[in-house]
Amino acid sequence: MELKVIAKESLLSFVNRLLEDREVVGVRKREDGKYIFDRLENSEELCLNYDVTLLPPKKYFLPQRETLIRFEDKEGELSVEAVVESSPRVIIGVHPYDMAAINLLDKVFSRDKKDANYLKKREDTLIIGTDVKNPSPYAFYESVGSDTREGFDLFFTEMGKSYVVETGSQKGEELLKYGDFKKATAREENEFKNIKKQRKGLSLERRLNFLSHDLPHLLGEKLEHPVWEEKSSRCLSCGSCIMVCPTCYCFDVQDEMDMSLTAGERFRQWDGCLLTDFARVATGENFRKDIKSRYQHRFYRKGKYIPEKFGMIGCVGCGRCASACLADIADPVEIYNALL
């Protein structure tokens, strides 16, 4: 599809027009200087020049807590209904590594048994991406091949006083009518090519010392490598790495009754394999009792089990885990490179 250009000052009115008929989520700078994805009240809150957000946009497809069913006992007659909550939404400012993670989650939740709770939200959401101009010091997304343009409905690349806009889907194309998008001139197209070249390799200061494609094989041979013991012995099992990870999708399911004690709901909430009880069964047996086995499981999942099952590496190189880890042992670059 043809390239468009929108002037920076026109972006605000584009966002304002979107805000008139749907929820708009964008990247906002908090008072403490951290960036977050949040519902925008007005277009001026939007910040497209950021390094990384605290949490990935995953929370709009797999919320921290999500109702799955509701049940009620009406005078002895029990009824139960499925709950699939979703509403139209646009997310603006998603970086390519976070899009890569969403592309993976799409596979996870649509493979075999289709998860309507995830897929309905995914279907109702349009994603407008933007490229990374200042990578987080922990990022290494290009080294794991997640500098993708796939999956975006629109993609904005900053170029001087405008954004160059690539259209990735029919739904994205339909959004163009909300703003003053102009066809790119031949000169702008050339300039865009140069900009893309310039911004290549920005995150490559940190990289795997091998092709990410070879990671599953490497892990297969390194189960007994000393790095596992060395790093995991300092792990606090706090789960910080899991809670900020864009590709972690494990969940727990629980019931909760309301005050009437005749009705309630079942919900799922984020859970993670590093937490102590994750693999404990009711009889008390814990199949990954020791921290080393849980720590290894997480890195094997990202680097071996997910690629083998879904055809793409389960780490997108956002660097959030490394920056969130209290014990400073979660950096995938350090661990995977130590194996070689």
Nearer to another protein, 82 or 326 (CB): 82
Q: First and final CA of the chain: distance in angstroms?
A: 42
Query: Is the CB of 205 or the CB of 290 nearer to another protein?
Result: 290
Positive/negative CA dihedral, 315, 317, 323, 324:
negative
Interaction of residue 281 with another protein, rule CB under 8 A: yes
- Binding of another protein at residue 165 (CB under 8 A)? no
Q: Which of 110, 185, 190, 233 binds another protein (CB under 8 A)?
A: 110
Task: Supply the DSSP string of 136-182, one letter for each residue.
Answer: -TT--GGGGT----TT-SEEEEEETTEEEEEE-SHHHHHHGGGTT-E
Name every residue whose Cβ is closer than 8 Å to that of residue 301 and which is 6 or more positions away in sequence: 273, 314
Q: How far is the CB of 304 from another protein (least distance, A)?
A: 7
Binding segment for another protein among 22-30, 90-98, 158-166, 252-260 (CB under 8 A)? 252-260
Task: Please identify, using beta-carbon distances, which residue of 29 and 171 lies nearer to another protein.
Answer: 171
The residues, ordered by sequence, that sit 6+ positions from 130 with a Cβ below 8 Å of its Cβ are 48, 92, 93, 94, 95, 155, 156, 157, 158, 163
Name the percent of the chain in helix, strand, coil, to the closest 5: 35, 20, 40
Site for another protein in 188-227 (CB under 8 A): 223
Please identify which residue in 7, 47, 54, 119 interacts with another protein, judged by CB under 8 A.
119
Kind and range of the H or E element at 226? helix 226-232
- Rounded Cα distance between 304 and 293, Å, is 15
Residue 178 vs 310, nearer CB to another protein = 310
Q: Give the one residue of 158, 271, 291, 334 binding another protein; rule: CB under 8 A.
A: 271
Q: How far is the CB of 51 from another protein (least distance, A)?
A: 28
Nearest residue to 26 (alpha-carbon basis) of 89, 75, 73, 84 = 89
Instruction: Pull the structure tokens for residue 188.
Output: 């702008």
Query: Interaction with another protein in 30-69: which residues (CB under 8 A)?
Result: 68-69
Nearer of residues 12 and 63 to another protein, judged by Cβ:
63
Residue from 214, 229, 230, 308 that binds another protein (CB under 8 A)? 308
In the complex, minimum distance from the CB of residue 251 to another protein, in angstroms, rounded to a whole number: 5
Q: Does 161 bind another protein (CB under 8 A)?
A: no
CA-CA distance, 30 to 268, in Å (whole number)? 28
* Residue 265, SS3 per DSSP: strand
Binding residues for another protein, per CB under 8 A?
A: 68-69, 71, 73, 78, 80-84, 106, 108-117, 119-120, 122-123, 151, 223, 249-255, 257, 261, 264, 266, 268, 271, 273, 278-285, 287-288, 293, 297, 300-301, 304-305, 308-309
